[in-house]
Chains A and B, each alone.
Chain A
Amino acid sequence: MTIVIIGNPNVGKSLVLNRLTGSNFIVSNYAGTSLEISEAMLKLPNHEIKIIDTPGVYSVFTMGQDQQVIKDLLQKEKPELILNVLDASNLERNLLLSFELKELGIPMIVLVNQIDRARRLGMQIQRDRLENILGAPVVFFSAITGEGLMELMQMLEKNIDEFAWPSRIESFFEQEKKPECVFQCRECSIGSESCLSSEDFRRAEMARYTAQLVVHGQSETQRYWMEKAEKFIDRPLSGTILLLALVFLGFFILLKFIELSEGPISALLYPLNLIIENFVANLLPPGIVNTVLSKAIPEGLIIPFTIIMPAMLMVSFLMSILEDSGLLPRYSVALERVGRLFGVSGQAVIPLSLGFGCRTPAVLATRLMPTMAERFIVITILSIVIPCAATIGVMAAVISAFHASLMVLVITMLMVLMVLGFIISRMMPREEVFVYELPPLRIPTNKNVLKKVRLRFAGFFTEVLPLLLVMNIIIRALMESGFFKLFHSMEGFTRALFGIPADAFVAVLVTMFQRYLAPLVLLNINLTPREATIAIAMISLSLPCLPVMVMTVREIGFKGLIKILIIGFITSFVVGAALNLILPW
């Protein structure tokens, strides 16, 4: 048997799936967390049920991309049951979708989720009335406390034979072939060209009427203190100041943490380093292979732990707090005006800030952007400007090793961000439609934050560590074999243009493809602070790493990637040349 979960964004669908099946799908407090379909198995005493979670939608009868995903899924999976998840505190809007789903004729259970929150807000919902109106069983549920879980499981177990994919459902799927207006458009209050039909309005009215009928007792005075905090943050001045202060605090904590943790971690790992080095050196016959491996292996193992691990841990932690508290979308609003200058709406904040964690999922999150043009702009900025956690760690290490100027680097990155955004946005069509739902503020739960830190940090062992080890061996081999010396003839050229020695330029070229390799190459060259600043700037503002490239092709196609790569090369070289001209020392 198969169940498909459908519901509005941010009502808790993914957390419901996690609750039911014990799985670990990402849950965050903003609309548009899940962008892809995911599934897990629920094992009941006598049955196994496949449950599929979908991205949140407000309506299934619209012609959008998200709706198509759900239509295709329904047609392919032919689920026996739809689990319609609602936010109990917002029935009026949520019921609109329920009425649409009801018309499909697929058996349905209505899960009124977040019942704990609704109660805290002083709301009471009349269950039997709701059941009568919807003609479907209603379960009060809380994915946080687990209320309603047993009831739902028993309901599934007991009625499992009655659920079935209906024999007639074609009309829904044929709709896509018809023109946008399926029903007769209502002409009065709303423009007749609108594709909202009288059916849509009928359902909206039913939803409003039903909500009024079944929800009782929400009094203004009973609202709890989170709502007061919300009021404060949603005021333009106080809110914006608070949000900006939090950003600075976040960066401060991050940089301090990296700084403070490097010493103890390397002291701790130093003996291990020696042991590995001796072990490898004794294992192999003396020669170049021995030299390369005995240096490269310990280095490739230890560098990630000392400089990448702290940054990844801290960024994951801070990001999770931002996502779960409901602050992230509030940044979208506060920064909407700023974003407009770059031709993107405030929603860009979400993928861009996710990029500080890891840019690969951030590229996926650009699906939140309302137009294709905006998506391209955001992916470009992500690929070229935003440093991911691993990069931040590495950059911090190189900066302190060479006494490079952090301020010059930060200013350069901001400048590039602005110039790039400005130029690309002038080349794109513009359309100003900003409509974004703000989630309620919530206190992040330890459990979810820890889970996400663990999830994000897994990439350290599966991706960063092996990659660094392999690349480190390759780079060591190139260095020991004198390969880099071949480039010394370029010295005049690189000095004149970028003010850096040829080795550093080669380092730039190598690390363009994987920024966090930068230290391995750079740390083995002698650089002045000025040279280091320029080289690091060129590296930080260059190309996306391989996983990001793959994701970019998947999301916007090969052509889009090529454009971004070209822009990346140009940016890096322009930055190098410009800094060489400007920097006085």
Chain B
Amino acid sequence: MYLKDMRTGQSGLVVKISKGHAAERRLFEIGLVPGASVEVVSRHPFHGPLLLQVGNTRVAVGQGIAEAVEVEINSSSGSTP
């Protein structure tokens, strides 16, 4: 599953990122690396940005990024649609 498919309130572990050096570097710096856990705090409509909680940081990422980050969902989290 990709970040873009996650629902609000769901959390998961980052598995893989494929978006070229520069973007991966940016994501690495804010703590979005394979193995890190992320929670989707909110999603803006019309393919707008996603707000993520990564550790104690709140980060906004665009759709371009959300399509490139593969995650594994924590089955226990945020199952309410």
| A in complex with B | yes
Residue contact B62 to A434, C-beta cutoff 8 Å: yes
Q: Does A336 contact B (CB under 8 A)?
A: yes
| Chain B contacts for A58, CB-based, 8 A | 29-30
Nearest CB in chain B: distance from A437 CB, A: 5
Given the contacts A196-B24, A438-B59, A189 and B15 also touching, CB distance less than 8 Å: yes
Could you tell me which residues of chain B, from 22 to 81, have a CB within 8 Å of some CB in chain A?
22-31, 33-34, 41-49, 51, 54-65
Nearest CB in chain A: distance from B51 CB, A: 5
| Chain A contacts for B58, CB-based, 8 A | 230, 234, 437-438, 440
A193 to B16 CA separation, bound complex (whole angstroms): 14
Q: Does A194 contact B (CB under 8 A)?
A: yes
Given the contacts A336-B48, A336-B49, A346-B49, A195 and B21 also touching, CB distance less than 8 Å: yes
Q: Does A245 contact B (CB under 8 A)?
A: no
A440 to B56 CA separation, bound complex (whole angstroms): 10
Q: Does A308 contact B (CB under 8 A)?
A: no
| Chain A contacts for B64, CB-based, 8 A | 432-434
A195 to B26 CA separation, bound complex (whole angstroms): 11
- Considering only CB atoms, which chain A residue lies closest to B25 in the complex? A62
Residue contact B59 to A436, C-beta cutoff 8 Å: yes
Nearest CB in chain A: distance from B35 CB, A: 8
Residue contact B34 to A93, C-beta cutoff 8 Å: no
| Chain B contacts for A89, CB-based, 8 A | 56
Residue contact A236 to B45, C-beta cutoff 8 Å: yes
A211 to B54 CA separation, bound complex (whole angstroms): 14
| Chain B contacts for A129, CB-based, 8 A | none
Given the contacts A92-B31, A236-B48, A435-B27, A332 and B60 also touching, CB distance less than 8 Å: yes
Q: Does A59 contact B (CB under 8 A)?
A: yes
- Counting chain B residues whose Cβ lies within 8 A of the other chain, the interface size class is 35 or more
| Chain B contacts for A92, CB-based, 8 A | 31, 55-56
Residue contact A190 to B60, C-beta cutoff 8 Å: no
Given the contacts A189-B16, A190-B17, A332-B60, A435 and B48 also touching, CB distance less than 8 Å: no
Could you tell me which residues of chain A, from 159 to 181, have a CB within 8 Å of some CB in chain B?
180
- Considering only CB atoms, which chain A residue lies closest to B17 in the complex? A190
Residue contact A337 to B47, C-beta cutoff 8 Å: yes
- Counting chain A residues whose Cβ lies within 8 A of the other chain, the interface size class is 35 or more
Q: Does A528 contact B (CB under 8 A)?
A: no
Given the contacts A337-B47, A432-B63, A194 and B24 also touching, CB distance less than 8 Å: yes
Identify A437's interface contact among B21, B30, B34, B44, CB under 8 A: B30
| Chain B contacts for A39, CB-based, 8 A | none
Residue contact B21 to A434, C-beta cutoff 8 Å: no
Q: CB-defined interface of A343-362 with B at 8 Å, one 1/0 digit per residue? A: 00110000000000000000
Given the contacts A190-B34, A191-B18, A235-B42, A434 and B49 also touching, CB distance less than 8 Å: yes
- Considering only CB atoms, which chain A residue lies closest to B19 in the complex? A433
Q: Does A108 contact B (CB under 8 A)?
A: no
| Chain B contacts for A345, CB-based, 8 A | 62
Residue contact B60 to A337, C-beta cutoff 8 Å: no
| Chain B contacts for A196, CB-based, 8 A | 24-25, 28
Q: Does A334 contact B (CB under 8 A)?
A: yes
Nearest CB in chain B: distance from A90 CB, A: 4
Q: Does A333 contact B (CB under 8 A)?
A: yes
Could you tell me which residues of chain A, from 185 to 240, have a CB within 8 Å of some CB in chain B?
189-191, 193-196, 200-201, 204, 211, 230-231, 234-236, 239-240
Q: Measuring CB to CB, which residues of chain A are less than 8 angstroms from any residue of chain B?
A: 58-59, 62, 89-90, 92-93, 96, 180, 189-191, 193-196, 200-201, 204, 211, 230-231, 234-236, 239-240, 329, 332-334, 336-337, 345-346, 432-438, 440
A-B contact pairs, 29 of them (CB 8 A): A89-B56, A90-B56, A93-B30, A93-B31, A93-B55, A93-B57, A190-B16, A190-B17, A190-B24, A195-B25, A211-B55, A234-B51, A236-B43, A236-B45, A236-B48, A329-B60, A333-B44, A333-B49, A333-B60, A336-B49, A336-B60, A337-B48, A432-B62, A432-B64, A433-B64, A435-B61, A437-B30, A437-B59, A438-B51
